[in-house]
């Protein structure tokens, strides 16, 4: 997510920022209110799509694609190649539009079933709450395709009956006690970026459902420079956390693709993974201490020792519990001094096989940069289509020259070549040394260095892709991404088979146009990799496109599992992938998790019914 | 019977719904244009996803460097204490002995030679072009396995010849090592795409590993379609043989382990109007040992060149996707926990899946076998031969009687779904006489009566050669009638007039179980087979089936009689084998000695007139009967000796 202009856009900006910060705050920051996230999120964010209301893709009157707003690097730019790519890839047509229902009509929202006694007692605690339709609808969904599709059609299912905004750990304790007392169903809500149907209200739930929105618990409570840790309230959103830490010269380095909106508590509850995990680690490596409020009381460890041999790590009951056990309120996290130097890079490979072989070698030598990602040919073309308009003739001339060199001089087939994007971080000298090491390995696999620009654009694709889905949905195109982790020897097989399965299923299910079925390897580990699949198709001529979409995604997941892939690398299980849990973790495993749930939450107060 | 659930919609049994492609004669063009030009023409087949064919040496080194082989070499080295290099040398030698070295020049040579030979031997070679198109398509999309039926040495040359003709990628073919004995020809075959495997290598890990890796490497990369014979060997009886699973296991493995998205298997049915090895097979079945394949023997066989062998029909069936076969049957996650290159014995789930698939594929071959009118004549003449002999009547049947019966049987077999090639624009009598004249070695027309070319005074074995040859043609239509015939026999057995459905089903099930090595009967499909047989016999007005009872209609007797007499030789044969085991002292009998001993016993029975079917002398039937008795628990093999379970045998 480094390309966000809202945070850490360029090294230069950061330097300025850092200089200022060091003057203003020397020492620990305590209780800085943030306030980028108001109570009523829909005031700045879309209620039926991804991200900020002011930022979206559209085809202007000339038929050119542009990205609106001022927040991102791409904002305000024309993207000349997108229209042709869009029409060519999907068989879509700008004449055939499927605009969303513009406004949320309150009549579509089911009336709130309130537990009066509970409401009264909450009122007496002074914790803010709401039962406005907008607030409730906003917290009734994540960003699965079917959820967004329904919203665009103005269809609203079961939504929370009430939203509460605790502002600290003690508020949460009170709310959980009251919920237990009055038998109310609580559903924790962080950033709302779930893609596992985790936020969907179970339709069979008869109790009053209360959405517990952690967004006001967003302070860094202290920073411990001796131990390099920070104690943070769990409702803080990724970009705020990074920005605030940057002000003191630190960072967590945890940058999931959703970091603009997703929250620390959400990361813990889903076992999140960040782009730069090669340096900083995934969430399980980053947390030192977790505090969670459960119906049985508060669970936490007594000290902050860096590693303990005290039986099974209780953090691992919390991480990945997906809101079924309680609310994570405060987390102590490792922090690092901000990197002195950052450099993007990219390598072009003649084909995907060579690319994977290179990533494998990099992993074997344990010299992976902060981030290394390999896009397949379709995604390379996609990335290409997202190149913004270049102003100078010189740049476009250079581009042409580069293309000529790679395809004609080096003999790469434009329909097979693929590209790896790289991000190096650290002190300047080491970065350059590291860069050379990686490029030397790449050369052994036929890789050619292809410049910083391509690398940076690759990372840009990550955050705009969610906005692009909304554009597609304006023109009969629906799609989604999903991920898995898989041993190295299976990577090529799983990529090939899952992509082929998607194409085959689309055909079988009557999709009239060839789908976009593409993948990339986004993380490397010692023993395997994380693979992301993107899948989208033009649904003209289908009577129930979402159902078709779901069938195809289901088949794709079956294919992933049959090819030795995991049920999820970091998205989590939610309700979307529950059916495969038993096969994934065995009967005994299910029993263990169930017994924990039964002890911690016997009355199913945290009744979102995820995971089990 | 109420307990039997129907799991197949009846409509699926209806053979009349089968759609089949038309044929084109590929020899026609050969007769009008230059063979040399044909042999030298531009040949540019399309391969899987546009891969380029790879050199033999590259292929070999891919195999030798594979993870699987590497693993097994180390394992063998550790177990045997031999140096790894030494084992690797051995592996390399095995590969040298095995590998094909397909060369276009050799293929062109064959194309030229075979054009000449085929034009002399055959009237036509008919191929369904739509099948070729489907194959062409399949080759581009997925790795392809070709599974032709195996009735003649000719089969694989013929296959390659056809594929060359249609510009389809040439296959690599698994051939038995015995071919290698024929020095020059062996190498020629190797250069035309054959690779050679030992007939048995049971415990040899290294051999198995080289072999399976070699096949998988070719298949996975799509360098060439892999061709092998599911039946393992040529069927000497024209009945399909129980499928062998080794190679099918190997070619399915890359799909099951996720190394390819899918594998397409294409059953190919090759039907010969007259089989080149006709009497050779009969002799072999009668115990005259088969001549060892040798080059000189092949040249001696030149006299066959002067004869007319009618036409050949080659039907390329619908490609079968292994992925769809495995859908819902195999949990592919079972390969997740052990590295895929470590060889493991297939799980029970996989074994039963491969076995069921193999049966389905053999049935798919059978379904598209073209039957010539002669097949009907052979069946009728054979039945007549035995009936007359039993009744002591004049041998043979009047020509017009034969024609009428043949027309009746033509209609019946069509109703049962036979792929019958009966020329519609020719009068029945012409069709009959043309069939008879092609097979004049087996039949004789004398004073307007047609009879098998068997002289009463001839030696029994010479008579048997003719009977067995005829039986092999009758056998070609067994797959059409076997299920109804089993039902007909079951009805026949149920003694009383009132045929209770449960009794009939039990007899059917018993017979089916007994004959499961004799005919292609999918394991575990008893109920489906019963339903299918009932459906066909009801549809053709032979039976009425109610909840409780099975009733034979007035006009059904004729069909029923035909069906029971079709199965009768087999029933009698099994009974004789049974009697042999009961009466003879078998305590010292090894399996090897069984065939000569039982043959002697049968000869005595035949000579004494206690048995009328000379075809019981077929060693194939005897072996199958023994296998059936072992399966039913009446005989056991202990330390190579046959031990009978007396009370069981007497019961049977």
The three-state secondary structure class of A450 is: coil
User: Residues of A with CB below 8 A from B332's CB?
Assistant: 562-563
What is the pLDDT, as a whole number, of residue B546? 87
A273 annotated ligand binder = yes
The answer, for A527 touching chain B at a CB cutoff of 8 Å, is no
pLDDT reported for residue B1: 38
Q: How far is A476 from chain B (nearest CA, A)?
A: 29
How much is the pLDDT for B184?
81
Distance CA A190, CA B433 (A): 89
Residue A496: which of B261, B339, B340 has the nearest Cβ?
Answer: B261
- In angstroms, the CA B582 to CA A165 distance is 91
Q: Do B332 and A563 touch (CB under 8 A)?
A: yes
Chain A: residue whose CA lies nearest to B142:
A500
Rounded distance between C-alpha atoms, residue B443 and residue A97, angstroms:
77
pLDDT in tens, B517-529: 999 999 889 999 9
Query: Known binder of ligand: residue A518?
Result: no
A271: three-class secondary structure by DSSP: coil
- Given a contact cutoff of 8 angstroms between Cβ atoms, the answer to whether A217 and A168 are in contact is yes
The mean pLDDT of A382-392, rounded to a whole number, is 80
Write the CA distances from A580 to A146, A344, A561, A584, integer angstroms: 20, 38, 9, 6
Farthest CA pair distance, chain B: 78
Mean pLDDT in chain B?
89
- Non-local (6+) Cβ contacts of B525 within 8 A are none
> A307 labelled as ligand-binding?
no
Q: Which segments within B228-349 are labelled E, that is strand? A: 264-272, 311-316, 320-321
pLDDT at residue number B68: 95
Chain B residue numbers with beta carbons less than 8 Å from the beta carbon of A558 are: none
CA distance B265 to chain A (A): 18
pLDDT in tens, A174-226: 999 999 999 999 999 999 999 999 999 999 999 999 999 999 999 999 999 99
Q: Where are the alpha helices (DSSP H) in B122-182?
A: 129-141, 154-165
Do residue B258 and residue A562 have CB atoms under 8 angstroms apart? yes
A490 and B258 in contact by Cβ < 8 A? Answer: yes
- Compute how many other C-beta atoms are within 10 angstroms of the C-beta atom of residue A381: 21
The more confidently predicted of residues A31 and B299 is B299
A262 among annotated binding-site residues: no
Mutate which: B253, B254, B261, vs A, most A CBs within 10 A: B261
Q: Do B261 and A501 touch (CB under 8 A)?
A: yes
Could you give the CA distance from residue A311 to residue A319 in angstroms, rounded to a whole number? 16
Output the CA torsion sign for B98, B99, B105, B108: positive
Neighbouring residues of A105: CB distance < 8 A, sequence distance ≥ 6: A154
Q: In 10 A of CB B502, how many CB atoms? A: 16
- Among A471, A476, A469, smallest CA distance to A540 is for A476
Contact B339 A500 (CB under 8 A): no
Residue pair B240/B365 in contact (Cβ under 8 Å)? The answer is: yes
Read off the pLDDT band of A389 (50, 70, 90): confident
* Residues from chain A contacting residue B340 (CB–CB below 8 Å): 489
Q: How many CB atoms within 10 Å of residue A394?
A: 9
- What tens digit of pLDDT does each residue of A544-578 get? 999 999 999 999 999 999 999 999 999 999 999 99
Beta-carbon contacts of residue A293 (< 8 Å; ≥ 6 apart): A169, A172, A173, A176, A326, A327, A329
The nearest alpha carbon in chain A to B334 belongs to A562
The H helix count followed by the E strand count for chain A is 19, 21
Q: Is the dihedral of CA B92, B98, B99, B101 positive or negative?
A: positive
> Does the annotation list A188 as a binding residue?
yes
What would the pLDDT profile of B397-408 be if each residue is shown by its tens digit? 999 999 999 999
| CB-defined contacts A:B, below 8 A | 24
Beta bridge partners of A45: A52
In B92-106, which positions are buried (b, 16+ CB within 10 angstroms) versus exposed (e)?
bebbeebbbbbeeeb
| Distance of alpha carbon B128 from alpha carbon B162, whole angstroms | 11
What is the rounded CA–CA span in Å between residue A235 and residue B115?
82
Q: How many CB atoms lie within 10 A of CB B498?
A: 11
User: How many Å lie between the alpha carbon of B54 and the closest alpha carbon of chain A?
Assistant: 18
Range 540-599 of A in CB contact (< 8 A) with B: 561-564, 583
Higher pLDDT, B428 or A107: B428
The answer to whether A173 and A326 have CB atoms below 8 angstroms apart is: no
- The b-or-e profile of B509-536 (16+ CB within 10 A means b, else e) is bbbbebbbbbbbbbeebbbbbbbbbbbb
**Contact present, A521 and A379 (Cβ < 8 Å):** no
Contact B259/A at CB under 8 A: yes
Estimate the share of chain B in helix, then strand, then coil, as percent rounded to the nearest 5: 55, 10, 30
Distance from C-alpha of A102 to C-alpha of B246, rounded to nearest angstrom = 63
Residues of B in contact with A561 (CB under 8 A): 333
- The verdict on a CB contact (< 8 Å) between B261 and A562 is no
Q: How confident is the model at residue A28 (pLDDT cuts 50, 70, 90)?
A: very low
Inform me whether the C-beta atom of residue A501 falls under 8 Å from chain B C-beta atoms: yes
> How far apart are alpha carbons A611 and A163 in whole angstroms?
23
Residue of B nearest to A564 (CA): B336
Q: If you measure CA to CA, which chain A residue comes closest to B254?
A: A493
Please tell me the predicted confidence (pLDDT) of residue B294: 56
DSSP string computed for B54-94? --HHHHHHHHHT-HHHHHHHHHHHHHH---HHHHHHHHHHH
Please give the distance of CA B414 from its chain centroid, rounded to a whole number. Answer: 21
Residues of A in Cβ contact (< 8 Å) with B335: 564
Distance CA A224, CA A304 (A): 12
Q: Which residues of A are catalytic?
A: 532
Low-confidence ranges of chain B (pLDDT < 70): 1-18, 179-181, 289-305, 495-498, 586, 646-652
Output the 3-class SS for B563-592. Answer: HHHHHHHHHHHHHHHHHHHHHCCCCCCEHH
The per-residue pLDDT for B404 is 95
pLDDT of A8 above 60: no
Contacts 24+ apart (CB under 8 A), A12-18: A14/A246, A14/A338, A17/A246, A17/A247, A18/A246, A18/A247, A18/A249, A18/A338
Phi, psi of B265 (to 5 degrees): -110, 125
Residues in chain A closer than 8 A to B140 (CB atoms): none
Does B340 touch chain A if contact means CB atoms closer than 8 Å?
yes
Question: CB–CB of B195/B156 below 8 Å?
Answer: no
Minimum CA–CA partner of B333 in chain A: A562
**pLDDT more than 70, % of chain A:** 92
Encode pLDDT of A480-491 as tens digits: 999 999 999 999
What whole-number distance in Å separates Cα of residue B106 and Cα of residue B114? 12
Q: Is B339 on the interface with A (CB under 8 A)?
A: yes
- Is A272 annotated to bind ligand? yes
Per-residue pLDDT, A458:
82
Q: Do B258 and A501 touch (CB under 8 A)?
A: no
In the predicted model, what is the mean pLDDT of residues A298-306? Answer: 96
Ligand-binding annotation for A332, yes or no, is no
The whole-angstrom separation of Cα A370 and Cα A309 is 30
pLDDT of residue A27: 33
From the list A497, A501, A561, which residue is nearest B333 (CB)? Answer: A561
Angle, alpha carbons B277-B281-B287 (nearest 5°): 150
Q: What is the pLDDT of residue B24?
A: 93
Distance in angstroms (rounded) separating the CA atoms of residues A590 and B4: 38
Percentage helix, strand, coil, to 5, in chain A?
40, 20, 40
Backbone dihedral region of B240: left (phi > 0), alpha (psi from -120 to 50 degrees) or beta? beta
Nearest-angstrom CA–CA distance, B173 and B215: 10
Contact A235, A254 (CB under 8 A): no
Distance CA A554, CA B509 (A): 41
Q: Averaged over A399-415, what is the pLDDT? A: 76
Return the pLDDT at B298: 54
Q: Is A428 a known ligand-binding residue?
A: no
DSSP element (H, E) containing B39: helix B35-40
| CA distances, B150 to each of A320, B107, B156, B159, B470 (Å) | 58, 21, 9, 11, 18
Q: Which one of A499, A531, A562, A582 makes the best mutation probe of the B interface by having the most chain B beta carbons within 10 Å? A: A562
DSSP, collapsed to helix, strand or coil, labels residue B451 as strand
Nearest CA in chain A to B262: A497
Tell me the β-bridge partners of A524.
A529
Enumerate the H helices of A41-183 as residue ranges.
82-90, 116-125, 133-138, 145-152, 169-182
- How far is residue B17 CA from its own chain's centroid? 24
Amino acid B201: pLDDT:
76
Predicted TM-score (pTM) of the model is 0.90
Is residue A29 pLDDT above 70, yes or no?
Answer: no
> pLDDT band at A10, cuts 50/70/90?
very low
| List of E strands, A255-326 | 287-294, 297-299
């Amino acid at each position: 997510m480094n390309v966000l202009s809202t945070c850490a856009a360029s090294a230069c900006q950061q330097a300025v920022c850092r200089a200022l910060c060091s003057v203003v705050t020397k020492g620990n920051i305590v209780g800085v209110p943030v306030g980028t996230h108001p109570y009523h999120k829909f005031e700045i964010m879309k209620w039926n799509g991804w991200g900020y209301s002011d930022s979206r893709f559209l085809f202007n009157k000339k038929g050119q694609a542009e990205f609106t707003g001022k927040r991102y690097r791409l904002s305000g730019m024309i993207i000349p190649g997108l229209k042709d790519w869009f029409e060519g890839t999907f068989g879509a047509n700008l004449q055939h539009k499927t605009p969303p229902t513009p406004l949320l009509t309150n009549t579509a929202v089911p009336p709130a079933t309130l537990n009066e006694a509970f409401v009264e007692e909450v009122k007496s605690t002074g914790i803010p709450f709401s039962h406005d339709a907008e607030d409730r609808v906003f917290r009734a969904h994540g960003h699965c395709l079917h959820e967004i599709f329904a919203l665009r059609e103005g269809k609203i299912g079961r939504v929370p009956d009430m939203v509460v905004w605790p502002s600290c750990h003690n508020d949460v304790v009170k709310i959980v006690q009251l919920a237990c007392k009055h038998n109310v169903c609580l559903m924790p809500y962080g950033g709302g970026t779930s893609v596992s149907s985790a936020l969907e209200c179970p339709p069979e739930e008869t109790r009053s459902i209360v959405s517990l929105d952690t967004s006001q618990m967003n302070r860094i409570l202290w920073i411990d420079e001796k131990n390099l840790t920070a104690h943070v309230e769990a409702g803080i959103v990724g970009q705020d956390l990074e920005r605030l830490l940057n002000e003191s010269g630190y960072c967590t380095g945890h940058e999931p693709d959703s970091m603009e909106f997703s929250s620390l508590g959400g990361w813990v509850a889903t076992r999140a993974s960040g782009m730069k995990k090669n340096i900083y680690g995934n969430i399980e490596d980053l947390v030192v201490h977790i505090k969670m409020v459960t119906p049985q009381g508060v669970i936490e460890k007594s000290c902050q020792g860096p590693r303990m041999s005290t039986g099974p790590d209780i953090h691992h009951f919390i991480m990945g519990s997906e809101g079924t056990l309680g609310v994570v309120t405060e987390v102590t996290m490792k922090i690092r001094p901000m990197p002195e130097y950052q450099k993007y890079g990219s390598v072009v490979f003649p084909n995907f096989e060579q690319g994977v072989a290179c990533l494998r070698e990099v992993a074997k030598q344990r010299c992976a940069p902060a981030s290394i990602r390999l896009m397949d040919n379709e995604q390379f073309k996609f990335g290409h289509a997202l190149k913004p308009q270049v102003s100078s003739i010189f740049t476009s001339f250079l581009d042409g020259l580069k293309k000529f060199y790679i395809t004609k001089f080096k003999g790469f087939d434009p329909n097979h070549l693929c590209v790896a994007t790289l991000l190096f971080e650290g002190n300047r000298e080491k970065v350059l040394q590291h860069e050379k090491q990686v490029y030397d390995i790449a050369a052994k696999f036929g890789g050619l260095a292809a410049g910083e620009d391509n690398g940076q654009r690759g990372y840009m694709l990550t955050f705009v892709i969610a906005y692009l889905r909304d554009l597609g949905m304006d023109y009969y195109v629906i799609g989604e991404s999903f991920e898995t982790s898989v041993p190295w020897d299976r990577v090529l097989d799983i990529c090939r088979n899952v992509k082929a399965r998607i194409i085959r299923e689309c055909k079988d299910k009557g999709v009239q146009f060839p789908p976009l079925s593409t993948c990339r390897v986004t993380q490397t580990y010692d023993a395997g990799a994380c693979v992301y699949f993107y899948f989208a198709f033009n649904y003209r001529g289908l009577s129930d496109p979402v159902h078709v979409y779901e069938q195809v995604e289901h088949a794709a997941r079956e294919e992933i599992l049959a090819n030795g892939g995991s049920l999820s690398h970091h998205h989590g299980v939610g309700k979307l992938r529950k059916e495969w849990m038993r096969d994934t973790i065995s009967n005994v495993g299910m029993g263990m998790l169930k017994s924990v749930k039964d002890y911690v939450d016997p009355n199913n107060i945290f009744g979102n019914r995820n995971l089990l | 019977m109420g307990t039997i659930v129907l799991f197949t919609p009846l409509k699926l049994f209806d053979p009349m719904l089968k759609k089949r492609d038309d044929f084109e004669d590929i020899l026609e063009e050969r007769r009008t244009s230059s063979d040399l030009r044909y042999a030298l023409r531009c040949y540019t087949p399309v391969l899987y996803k546009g891969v380029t064919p790879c050199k033999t040496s590259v292929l070999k080194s891919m195999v030798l460097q594979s993870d699987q082989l590497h693993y097994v070499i180390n394992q063998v080295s550790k177990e045997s204490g031999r140096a790894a290099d030494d084992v690797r040398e051995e592996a390399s030698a095995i590969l040298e002995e095995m590998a094909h070295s397909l060369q276009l020049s050799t293929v062109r040579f064959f194309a030229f030679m075979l054009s000449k030979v085929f034009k002399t031997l055959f009237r036509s070679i008919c191929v369904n072009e739509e099948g070729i198109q489907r194959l062409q398509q399949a080759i581009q999309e997925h790795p392809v396995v070709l599974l032709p039926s195996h009735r003649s040495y000719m089969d694989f040359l013929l296959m390659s010849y056809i594929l060359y003709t249609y510009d389809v990628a040439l296959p690599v073919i698994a051939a038995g090592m015995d071919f290698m004995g024929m020095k020059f020809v062996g190498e020629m075959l190797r250069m035309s795409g054959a690779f050679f495997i030992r007939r048995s290598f049971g415990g040899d890990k290294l051999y198995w590993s080289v072999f399976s890796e070699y096949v998988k490497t070719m298949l996975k990369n799509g360098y060439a379609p892999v061709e092998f014979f599911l039946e393992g060997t040529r069927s000497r009886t024209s009945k399909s043989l129980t499928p062998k699973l080794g190679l099918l296991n190997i070619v399915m493995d890359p799909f099951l382990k996720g190394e390819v998205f899918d594998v397409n298997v294409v059953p190919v049915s090759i039907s010969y109007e007259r089989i080149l090895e006709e009497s050779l097979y009969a002799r072999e079945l009668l115990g005259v040992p088969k001549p060892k394949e040798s080059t000189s023997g092949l040249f001696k066989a030149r006299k066959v060149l002067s004869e007319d062998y009618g036409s050949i029909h080659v039907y390329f069936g619908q490609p079968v996707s292994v992925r769809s076969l495995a859908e819902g049957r195999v949990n592919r996650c079972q390969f997740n926990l052990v590295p895929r290159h470590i060889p493991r014995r297939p799980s029970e789930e996989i074994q039963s899946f491969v076995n069921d698939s193999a049966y389905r594929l053999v049935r798919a071959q059978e379904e598209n076998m073209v039957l010539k009118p002669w097949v009907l004549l052979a069946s009728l003449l054979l039945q007549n031969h035995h009936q007359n002999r039993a009744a002591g009547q004049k041998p043979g049947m009047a020509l017009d009687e034969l024609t009428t019966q043949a027309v009746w049987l033509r209609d019946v077999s069509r109703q049962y779904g036979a792929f019958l090639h009966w020329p519609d624009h020719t009068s029945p009598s012409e069709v009959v006489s043309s069939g008879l004249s092609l097979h004049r070695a087996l039949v004789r027309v004398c004073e307007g009566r047609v009879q098998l070319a068997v002289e009463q005074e001839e030696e029994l074995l010479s008579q048997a050669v003719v009977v067995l040859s005829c039986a092999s043609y009758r056998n070609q239509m067994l797959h059409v009638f076997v299920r109804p015939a089993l039902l007909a026999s079951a009805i026949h057995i149920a003694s009383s007039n009132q045929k209770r459905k449960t009794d009939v089903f039990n007899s059917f099930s018993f017979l089916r179980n007994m004959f499961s090595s004799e005919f292609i009967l999918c394991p575990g499909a008893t109920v489906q087979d019963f339903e299918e047989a009932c459906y066909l016999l009801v549809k053709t007005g032979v039976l009425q089936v109610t909840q409780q009872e099975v009733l034979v209609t007035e006009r059904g007797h004729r069909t029923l009689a035909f069906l029971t007499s079709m199965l009768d030789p087999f029933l009698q044969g099994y009974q004789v084998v049974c009697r042999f085991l009961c009466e003879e002292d078998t305590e010292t009998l090894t399996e090897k000695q069984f065939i000569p001993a039982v043959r002697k016993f049968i000869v005595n029975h035949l000579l004494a007139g206690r048995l009328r079917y000379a075809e019981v002398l077929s060693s194939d039937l005897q072996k199958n009967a023994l296998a059936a008795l072992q399966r039913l628990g009446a005989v056991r093999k202990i330390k190579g000796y046959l031990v009978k379970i007396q009370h069981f045998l007497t019961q049977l």
